[in-house]
């Protein structure tokens, strides 16, 4: 094969293998320490196809917008949303929901799916997130129209800082008080 046809061949091959956020590609290894992701306000984003720029732009857009394929969004280590390939599940705007088990050894996917995934507290991810006004692409934040979660922003910060997959970070007295309040709330059920 001459140089020229070699080039055409490799272009064709790369087109055939254009990356997609396929089910096979979203695995335990997809997820990582929250601090290694990109922080946007109080949550974290990633993009499995490398499109972090557009992901951050949508997350920061005051008018909202649709997250690009491959986007990963997390508030706490154990829950994630991943934007799958276009048309994969129109009802959830192509978001797949994940309930994760995290430990110092890494991440294991506990549950994944679309409208059926529930978190540790029995709450259905989609049922809450679908309440977000349409321009927010199922992202709740604290003012997009979803019913609130029983976690204060202070508790969320403390949970993020104690992600067992990350290098330990120093907790402030406020973080420690928030973790205590969280434990008390969980124990009270
Ligand atoms: C009771 C309703 C409820 C349930 C159930 C719920 N969420 Fe959320 N989620 C929220 C709210 C409200 C926020 C925003 C909290 C804040 O910003 O203070 C949020 C935040 C998030 C975020 C950060 C981006 C955003 O939307 O603000 C992700 C990612 C997320 N949740 C994923 C999940 C996943 C995955 C599940 C299921 C395993 C789940 N959630 C279950 C209400 C819920």
pLDDT at 17: 55
How far apart are the CA of 36 and the centre of ligand 1, in A?
Answer: 20
Ligand 1 contact, 99 CB (< 6 A)? yes
Give the nearest ligand 1 atom to 132 CA.
26
Give the nearest ligand 1 atom to 136 CA.
26
Burial of 133 (0-12, 13-18, 19+ CB in 10 A): exposed
pLDDT at 10: 59
**Residue 2 pLDDT exceeds 90:** no
How far apart are the CA of 177 and the centre of ligand 1, in A?
Answer: 23
Share of the chain above pLDDT 70, in %: 87
Residue 1: CB atoms within 10 Å: 8
Average pLDDT for 109-124 = 94
Where residue 150 falls among pLDDT bands split at 50, 70, 90? confident
Ligand 1 contact, 119 CB (< 6 A)? yes
> Ligand 1: which residue has its CA nearest to atom 4?
125
**Residue 15 pLDDT exceeds 90:** no
Where residue 14 falls among pLDDT bands split at 50, 70, 90? low
**Residue 42 pLDDT exceeds 90:** yes
pLDDT at 188: 82
Give the nearest ligand 1 atom to 97 CA.
35
Average pLDDT for 137-163 = 95
Which token pair is 93? 């705007």
Which token pair is 69? 């394929």
């Amino acid at each position: 094969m001459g140089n020229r046809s070699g080039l055409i061949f490799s272009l064709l091959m790369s087109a055939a293998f254009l990356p997609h956020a396929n089910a096979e590609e979203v695995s335990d290894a997809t997820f990582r320490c929250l601090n290694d992701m990109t922080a946007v306000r109080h949550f974290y984003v990633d993009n499995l196809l490398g499109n972090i720029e557009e992901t951050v732009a949508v997350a920061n857009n005051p008018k909202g917008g649709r997250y690009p394929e491959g986007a990963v969004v997390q508030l706490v280590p154990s829950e994630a949303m991943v934007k799958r390939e276009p048309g994969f599940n129109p009802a959830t705007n192509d978001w797949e929901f994940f309930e994760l088990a995290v430990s110092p050894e890494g991440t294991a996917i506990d549950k994944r799916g679309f409208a059926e995934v529930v978190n540790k507290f029995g709450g259905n991810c989609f049922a809450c997130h679908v309440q977000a006004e349409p321009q927010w692409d199922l992202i709740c934040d604290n003012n997009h129209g979803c019913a609130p979660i029983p976690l204060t922003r202070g508790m969320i910060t403390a949970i993020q800082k104690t992600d067992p997959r990350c290098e330990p970070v120093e907790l402030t007295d406020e973080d420690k008080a928030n973790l205590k309040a969280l434990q008390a709330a969980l124990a009270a059920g």
